[in-house]
Structure 1
Amino acid sequence: MQLHNILLFFLFYRCQTGHWIKMKKANKVFFTKNSITSIKHSEHIAVSAFIDHRINKAIRVISIIRRDNLQPLYCIYCNDDHDCQTAEAEVQIHSDHFGFPFAASDVLCHGAHTQIATCVAISTSANISNVHAEDLLPIKNKVTHESFKFNFTVCISNLFEGYNNVLQFVQTVEMYKLLGVQHVVIYNTSCGPDLEKLLQHYKREGIVEIVSWPINKFLNPSKGWNFVEHGGDLHYYGQLVTLNECIYRNMYQSRYVLLNDIDEIIMPYKHANLPLLMEDLQQEHITVGVFLIENHIFPKTQFEETHRFSRPEWRNISGINIMEHIYREPDRKYVFNPRKMIINPRSVVQTSVHSALAQYGDVYYVPFDVCRIVHVRTPLQGHLIKEQLFVDTRVWDFEAELISNVDKTLQASDLI
C-alpha cells in the first residue's frame, strides 16, 4: 500500500471513530479527541466542526482566530470512501471581540461533497501530508431532525478559577428542571471540589453534559469582558466561543436553547413553566427565532427578614441561597440593561452574549411582566436601601418542590 493511501486509511479510521489508534506490541492505544485543537504553524485554534445545512451543507468549524495574524487557511476533509479533498477556507471573525487579540470565529469549508465528509482538519497548508491524526475534528450535525431529544437546553458558558458556588448552582439547576429544562451544558475550565461532586451527580443523572474547556492551557484567557481593563488574550475565558459551540452542538438536539450564566434564571412570570411560555410566544410571533429577556439584579447583600429559608441543612454548603434574596433593584431607564436569550438554534448563525450577531428570522423583546431574569449577585446599585427595592418572590412559588429536590440532590452528591 502506498504511503499516501496508508495515511488516508488512518485518517479515515480517526474520522469514523473519533479516536486515533496505533499498534504497540499488539495492543491498541486510543487517543481521545480534545475539545480544543491548535492549528499547527499558526496561533489559531479549532474547537469543533458541524455541517451547516442552511448554507449549502458547508462545514463550519467553530474556532479562535488571532485577528492581527491571519494567514490563508485550508480545509482538508475526508469521507467514508477514504477520499480527502482540500479547499481554501473562508474565515469569519465575529464582530464582538471586545478588543481582545483572539476572537470567536467561524472557519467555513465550501466544496464538493462536504455533506458526506466525516472529519476535517484546518491547516496552513493545502498539502494533506501535513495533517496528522490529532489535527482532525469529527464532523457533527450530519443529519437534520424535525423532532428533538430535548425541548429546552441551557448553555452555561464557563466555570473557571475553582468556581464553587454550590448552593446557587444546585438551586438554579433544580429550578430549571421544575421549569421544564431537560438538558444543561457546562463548559468547565476549573471548579471547586464540592461543585465537582455535584457535577458528577448531575452527569450520572443525565441532565448535565460537561464539556472540558482547558482554554488556559492554550491562551491567557481574560477574567473580564474588556480588554483595556482586564487584559489577556481572549474575552472572559472564551465565553463567546463556548456559547456559539453550544448552539451548534444542540442544533438538532434541542427545540430551544437558553443562553445565560449559572447565576441567572430565565423566569416566566405569566406562565407556569417554559413550555407554556414559549408555546404562546411562538404562536404570537411566528417568524421570531431570538427572544431577548431582560436582566434584573437581586442583590445578595439584602436578605429576606424572617429568615424562613436559612435552613440548617444548607449551612455548610458553599454559595448563595437564592431563596433568601427577594429584593430586586429598580430598572434604570438611562442605563443599558443587558439581556439574555431564548433561541431557536436553527435560526442563529452567530451569537454574542446579549444578542445574536447573525440570524435568520426576527428578534423579539419579551416584556418584563411576561418573563425576566432572576439574577442573584453583587448589587449594581449598592447605595439603595431595602425600602428602595422591589419585593419579588417568584422563586417562592416553587418552594416545596425546590427545597425537597435540592436536599435530595445534595444528599445524592454526598454534600449533606
Structure 2
Amino acid sequence: MIIRTGIKNCLCRRNFVVLIFTAIMVILVYSMTTERMTAIRRLISKIQEKPVLCPVPISQESITPLKNTKHLLVSAFMDRRVKGFDIRIIGIFKRDSIHPLHCSFCCGSVFNETTPAKILPHSYHFSFPFGVADVLCPLPKNCDASHITLLTNPSANASEHTFIPVRNKNEKIRFNFTVCVSNLFGEYNNVLQFAQTLEMHKLLGVDRVVIYNTSCGPELDRLLQGYIQEGFLEVVPWPIDKFLKPSWGWDITKYPGDMHYFGQIATLNECMYRSMARSRYVLLNDIDEIITPYKHNNLVSMMKTLEPNYSDVGEFLIENHIFPKKHFEPSGRFHLPQWEKVPGINILEHIYRESPDRTKFHPYKLIVQPRLVEQTSVHFVVEKFGKQYKVPMDLCRIIHVRVALQGHLKLEQLNEDKRLWDFQEKLIPNVDKALKRAGLIPAEEQN
C-alpha cells in the first residue's frame, strides 16, 4: 500500500507540472499574440492619422490640360540654375494666347500660396500654332513644394485646378549615358532595327533609354515590354493626339497640324530634364540613329578622352551619316534566317554610307551635359550655360540606316563602312535573346 501511494503521488505531481507548463505556454502565446496585434493596430492607427498631403486633384498623366487656357502642362522640375527661380515647368502653349500666369504650390497640406510666373517660349516652333514654353516659378518662403500648377488669376481657387508632381528633388547621378528617343507614332513597327539599335546602345555603354510612345505596332509593343521589365527602357506614354492634331513632319505647308512632329521638341526637352539629375550625359537622337565612336570601343572611353579638355562643353554635336537602306552588302553573310520573319530593317546588311553634302544644311544630333543646357531643339541646343563642340567625324558619327538623303548617288559613289560589324559577335546573340523573349523568333531558330 505504501508503494502504491508513492506512485500515485508521483503521478499527481507530474500531471500538476505538465498542467502548470501548459498554462504558462498558453499565457505566453496569448501575450505575444496580443502584443503583436497591438503593434499592428498602432501602425494602422499611425497610417490613418498621417495627414493627407496636397488635398487637390493630382495628375498622373504625361500631358495635363491647364484650366481656363488652351495650354498643356507636361512636367515640372526643380531647377535653381536661373537666379531667383526654383522650379521649371515644361508646357505646350498656344502661341497666340500666352498671357500672364501665376504659380500655385502644394507645400505640405497648404496649397493657396502663389508667386508670379516667368514664361519663356521656345524660339523653334516651325510656325505651328502650338509650341513649347518653359515656365519659371519662385518658391514661397518655407515651402517644400511637392506639386505645382498655374493659375490665370492669383486669387483663383487652386483646389479646382489639377496639380502635377515636382520632379528631380531627391535624384542622384546613377547613369553615365541616357538616350532620349523623341516619339513613336503611326503604329511604328520596325522591330528588328529597334532591337538591334537598343542592343548596340548597351554595347556602347548606354545605361538607360527613354522613349515617348504615341502608338506602335503589336510586335514592337511585345519587344518593349521585355526591355521595360529588365530596367533598360523607360517608356513614357505620349497621347498628344488626344489633345491636338499633331503634324507628321516639320514643314507645316506639307504636313499641316497643331504642332511639329507629334511634339518632338517637347519630348526632347522633357527627357533632358527628366534625366538631368540622374545621368552624366544625355544623347538626343532618333530611334534609327546610333551615335557610334570610331576610335573607342564605347562611349564611356570616348568621353573620358574628351572630358579633360572639354569639361565646360554642354553640347557635343555629332554628324549624321546616312546608310541608304536600298543598298545591301553583296555577300549576304548577315541575312540571317531567324530574322527573316521579324518586321523591320536589318542594319548589318547596309554598309554603304553617303558623304554629307556640306553645301546644304546638314543635321547633327547631340550628346549633352544636361546640367549645362537650358533649352534644346532637334539638331542643336538653343539656350545653354556651357560651350559647343563639333566632334570630328573620324572620332564619332551617327550610323543612320534609312531612306537615302542623296538618292541620286550611285553605289560606287558611296563609302564602304563596316563599323557595326565590329560588334556582331555580341550583337547577334543579344538581339536573338531579345526577340525570343518577345516571342518573335522560336528558340530553335536562334544562332
Q: Same fold (TM over 0.5)?
A: yes
1:199 to 216, 220, 224: 224
Provide the residue aligned with 1:91 in structure 2. 119
- The 5 A counterparts of 1:137-152 are 137-143=164-170, 145=172, 148-152=173-177
Distance verdict in 2 for CA 1:143–1:115, change over 3 Å? farther
Is residue 2:300 matched to residue 1:275?
Answer: yes
Shift of 1:143: 3.9
Q: Secondary structure at the match of 2:113?
A: strand
Mapped to 2, the partners of 1:83 and 1:72 lie a distance apart of 20
Shift of 1:268: 0.3
Aligned residues: 390
Provide the residue aligned with 1:66 in structure 2. 94
Q: Name the structure where strand makes up a greater proportion of residues.
A: 1
Mapped to 2, the partners of 1:393 and 1:303 lie a distance apart of 12
1:176 to 201, 211, 219: 201
Equivalent residues of 1:258, 1:342 under 8 A apart: yes
Q: Which runs of 5+ in 2 are unaligned?
A: 1-50, 442-447
Equivalent residues of 2:111, 2:158 under 8 A apart: no
Query: What amino acid is aligned across from residue 277 of structure 1 in structure 2?
Result: M
Is residue 2:332 matched to residue 1:307?
Answer: yes
Is residue 2:76 matched to residue 1:53?
Answer: no
Identity of aligned residues (%): 52
Distance verdict in 2 for CA 1:113–1:157, change over 3 Å? farther
Shift of 1:284: 2.0
Q: Secondary structure at the match of 2:54?
A: helix
Provide the residue aligned with 2:108 in structure 1. 80
Distance verdict in 2 for CA 1:115–1:62, change over 3 Å? farther
Mapped to 2, the partners of 1:400 and 1:81 lie a distance apart of 57
Distance verdict in 2 for CA 1:290–1:62, change over 3 Å? same
Shift of 1:11: 6.5
Mapped to 1, the partners of 2:136 and 2:364 lie a distance apart of 29
- The 5 A counterparts of 1:229-248 are 229-248=254-273
Query: What amino acid is aligned across from residue 213 of structure 1 in structure 2?
Result: W
Shift of 1:42: 1.0
TM-score under structure 1 length normalisation: 0.91
Equivalent residues of 1:59, 1:114 under 8 A apart: no
Is residue 2:129 matched to residue 1:129?
Answer: no
Equivalent residues of 1:77, 1:114 under 8 A apart: no
Query: What amino acid is aligned across from residue 290 of structure 1 in structure 2?
Result: E
The root-mean-square deviation of aligned C-alpha atoms, in Å, is 1.6
Shift of 1:88: 2.1
Shift of 1:125: 2.3
Measured against aligned partners, the alpha-carbon deviations of 1:207-254 in whole angstroms (never above 9, x if no partner) come to 000100000000000000122221100010000000000011011111
Measured against aligned partners, the alpha-carbon deviations of 1:363-408 in whole angstroms (never above 9, x if no partner) come to 1000010000000000011121111100000000001100010000
Is residue 2:421 matched to residue 1:403?
Answer: no
1:12 to 39, 42, 54: 54
Provide the residue aligned with 1:155 in structure 2. 180
Equivalent residues of 1:154, 1:260 under 8 A apart: yes
Q: Secondary structure at the match of 2:433?
A: helix
1:33 to 46, 54, 60: 60
Provide the residue aligned with 1:6 in structure 2. none
Q: Secondary structure at the match of 1:76?
A: strand
Q: Secondary structure at the match of 2:432?
A: helix
Shift of 1:144: 6.2
Measured against aligned partners, the alpha-carbon deviations of 1:149-206 in whole angstroms (never above 9, x if no partner) come to 1110000000001000000000000000000001000100000000000000100011
Equivalent residues of 1:57, 1:114 under 8 A apart: no
Query: What amino acid is aligned across from residue 356 of structure 1 in structure 2?
Result: V
Provide the residue aligned with 1:221 in structure 2. 246
2:416 to 378, 386, 391: 391
2:288 to 263, 270, 289: 263
Range 36-45 or range 48-57, more displaced: 48-57
2:70 to 43, 50, 55: 43
Equivalent residues of 2:171, 2:278 under 8 A apart: no
Q: Secondary structure at the match of 1:291?
A: strand
TM-score under structure 2 length normalisation: 0.84
Mapped to 2, the partners of 1:53 and 1:139 lie a distance apart of 13
Distance verdict in 2 for CA 1:197–1:341, change over 3 Å? same
Query: What amino acid is aligned across from residue 342 of structure 1 in structure 2?
Result: I
Measured against aligned partners, the alpha-carbon deviations of 1:270-291 in whole angstroms (never above 9, x if no partner) come to 1110000111111121211110
Q: Secondary structure at the match of 1:373?
A: strand
Distance verdict in 2 for CA 1:10–1:90, change over 3 Å? farther
Query: What amino acid is aligned across from residue 266 of structure 2 in structure 1?
Result: V
Mapped to 1, the partners of 2:342 and 2:143 lie a distance apart of 49
Q: Secondary structure at the match of 2:426?
A: helix
Equivalent residues of 1:57, 1:115 under 8 A apart: no
Query: What amino acid is aligned across from residue 155 of structure 2 in structure 1?
Result: N
Provide the residue aligned with 1:120 in structure 2. 148
Mapped to 2, the partners of 1:376 and 1:200 lie a distance apart of 24
Distance verdict in 2 for CA 1:141–1:364, change over 3 Å? same
Over alpha carbons, which structure has the higher Rg? Answer: 2
Range 224-233 or range 255-264, more displaced: 224-233
Mapped to 1, the partners of 2:55 and 2:278 lie a distance apart of 26
Is residue 2:233 matched to residue 1:208?
Answer: yes
Equivalent residues of 1:150, 1:183 under 8 A apart: yes
Q: Structure 1 runs of 4+ off > 6 angstroms?
A: none
Mapped to 2, the partners of 1:113 and 1:171 lie a distance apart of 50
- The 5 A counterparts of 1:317-356 are 317-356=342-381
Equivalent residues of 2:53, 2:109 under 8 A apart: no
Distance verdict in 2 for CA 1:101–1:378, change over 3 Å? same
Query: What amino acid is aligned across from residue 77 of structure 2 in structure 1?
Result: F
Equivalent residues of 1:51, 1:57 under 8 A apart: no
